[in-house]
Amino acid sequence: MIRYGFIRTKDEIKFLILTCMTYLPFPVSFDSVVDICTWCDEGFGYFELSEAFSELQDSSHIEKTMDNQTEVFSITQKGRETAQAFQNRLPYTVREAAELSALRVIRKIRRDAQLSTKTEKKGEKDYVVELNMQDVFSIRMNVVSPQQASLLESNFKKHAEAIYQDILSTLTSNHDK
């Protein structure tokens, strides 16, 4: 398979991982690291990234902690120093893409942290779905099936801002016309 991109060697992948992680203000999941790094360059695949990431943990450049029974990772001081020392080994366009990708993932993580959903079964064919955007709005709706509840939760998580705008627009419209 032909791969296009600047990053090809394991050391370059490690430098990319460390560079990306210097932009993160908090620990993130491995999936987030994969998302950030693979968005930057197409010269490597998941397995190469995973192997390089594991080696960075073994060498104490990255540390793992637990957050609500979820593994999260952060760069250590040793990792920051290495990233700083070798940052020029990555092309400028890749470093720039790393920063933009990290910011994209940070925004997504923060947005997702503001959203919560919950479904409660009240009886046969009677479920209450609660959809909440922290400090903005909350909706409680009755539905008749777990499938309908799941659909509401899924759509809310994907489109919470648009749903909020639609509700606000409807509630502020002049319905007397």
Mind listing the pLDDT tens digit for each residue in 123-174?
Answer: 999 999 999 999 999 999 999 999 999 999 999 999 999 999 999 999 999 8
CB of 128 closer than 8 Å to CB of 141: yes
Phi, psi (rounded to 5 degrees) for 77: -60, -40
| Whole-number Å distance between alpha carbons of 32 and 3 | 22
CATH of 10-113, one of 1.10.620.20, 3.30.300.30, 1.10.10.10, 2.10.109.10: 1.10.10.10
Six-digit token string for 104: 């994209």
Output the pLDDT for position 1.
53
Phi, psi (rounded to 5 degrees) for 65: -135, 170
Single pTM value for the model: 0.81
Q: Residues of the chain whose pLDDT is less than 70?
A: 1-3
Output the pLDDT for position 122.
96
Output the pLDDT for position 2.
57
